[in-house]
Structure 1
Amino acid sequence: MKNNTNIKKYKLLSPIYDFLMGNRIFRNARIRAFSLIDIKPQNKVLLVGVGTGEDIPLLPNNIEIIGIDISNEMLEKARKKTNHVVLLNMDAESLKFENEKFDFVILNLVLSVVENPQKALLEATRVLSPSGTIVVFDKFLDENKKPNMLRKALNKITSILGTDINRRFDEILRSTPLNIIHQESSVLHGNYKIIMLEKLARSDIL
């Protein structure tokens, strides 16, 4: 996928996105992901690829939340769901924030969509505080598993809609200063995963 074409795709998808991805199954998966982290009132949270704001009602309303997305149409949908979240048009691969600003960075249904997922993950890492956590909920091909012909064919269709179902998280994670602290299978027979990440200590990187 290309980010410039994703802007066009999500302009078309924005009116029906909540119908497609706001169902009970995906909502419960998001709830499960957030149940694994301990967000305190003083924490700062970044929602990368906030979309229509499906994550917003699941977070405490007494914390600082910033949501970013490259689609103005998706952001307009999100604005109707909140009056306390700062929503900005921004590219996940080039975040306009200072280093180590956020305690939690949420990447729900993002890494399968952006043009360069490793770059997006590195940017999330850059703006994450040393003791912070990155939350990922997305679809990934199992490690060392090759997509069969049916999955390859299906991916051609999903790619037109703006999402790649054949990305492997282990490949995205490679060469990043991050460590998996929790991982579990989620919806659609484990095709979706919930993953928690933390920064490696400097001594572990060297």
Structure 2
Amino acid sequence: MKNSTNISKYKRLAPVYDIIFGKFFIKGRKRAISMLNLNRDDKILMIGVGTGQDLNLLPFECFVTGIDISDAMLSKAKEKTRDRNVNLLNMNAERLEFEDESFDFAILNLVLSVVENPREVVCEALRVIKEDGEILIFDKFIENNSKVSILRKLLNKVTSIIGTDINRCFEDITDGLPICIIKDEPSMFNGNYRIILLKKS
């Protein structure tokens, strides 16, 4: 995955993303966000906000900052902001332009399988959440220490065309990082997707 090519891929995908994937991921998104104990006035960072499908799942009173590398996706997200406290910015998730400990929560739904350097994204999320903040991740991962089959490698070539890598391992991405996993539960497709809630260790 390359950030430069992702921009062009998601420019093409943005107009039809909600039509194709809107209902597909909604159950997983809802379950993931239900794990967060959100309060009014919490500051939430949505990394890879995309077309904003998670926005309406958050409490109206929260202050939400959504970042994405695709202007086309951000344009779609803007349509869902209404009168909410939402600020949308074009920004690279691997180099967040925020001060340390700026947010109470960071949400990375369907992001780590898309970005060029997922480990850098997690590091940046850890940097910008407060000491007692939490990071929520909903994405697809291969099992730790599992061997990727030839069929899955071939399938990954297809999925990469639309901008997603199905062969990433969460444990490899976060190996050695100062994290403490609060919850980790299987989600869609017999656990090929996982919902992970973590904080700084």
Category of TM-score, reference length = shorter chain: over 0.9
State the shift of 1:42 in Å: 2.3
User: Which sections of structure 2, spanning at least 5 residues, go unmatched?
Assistant: none
Report the equivalent of 1:108: 109
Q: Shift in Å at residue 106 of structure 1?
A: 0.2
Q: SS of the residue aligned with 1:65?
A: strand
**Residue aligning to 1:77:** 76
CA shift at 1:175, angstroms?
2.2
**Alignment-derived partner of residue 174 in structure 1:** 175
Q: Normalization by structure 1: what TM-score?
A: 0.95
CA apart distance, 1:26 = 1.2
Identity of aligned residues (%): 54
Partner of 1:5: 5
- State the alpha-carbon separation in 2 of the partners of residues 21 and 177 from structure 1: 33
CA distance in 2, matches of 1:46, 1:54: 14
Deviation at 1:135, TM superposition (A): 0.1
Q: Does 1:22 align with 2:22?
A: yes
Deviations 1:12-44 (Å, cap 9, x if unpaired)?
000111122211x41111111111111011210
**2:183 partner amino acid:** H
- 1:60-103: per-residue Cα shift (whole Å, max 9, x none)? 11011000000000000000011321000000000000000101
Aligned-pair Cα RMSD in Å: 0.8
Aligned residues: 199
Match of 1:53, SS state, is coil
Report the counterpart of residue 38 of structure 2 in structure 1: 39
Q: After TM superposition, which residue ranges in structure 1, 4 or more long, deviate above 2 angstroms?
A: none
Scaled by the length of structure 2, the TM-score of the pair is 0.97
Structure 1 unaligned segments of length 5 or more: list them: 201-206
Q: Deviations over 1:99-147 (max 9, x none)?
A: 0010100000000000000000000000010001000000000111111
Instruction: Please give the alpha-carbon distance, in whole angstroms, between the structure 2 residues aligned to 1:163 and 1:111.
Output: 9
Alignment of 1:139-154 (within 5 A): 139-154=140-155
Counterpart code for 1:156: K
Cα distance in 1 for partners of 2:129, 2:44 equals 9
Q: Which residue of 2 aligns with 1:88?
A: 89
Equivalents in 2 of 1:92, 1:110: separation in Å?
Answer: 9
Match of 1:60 in 2: 59
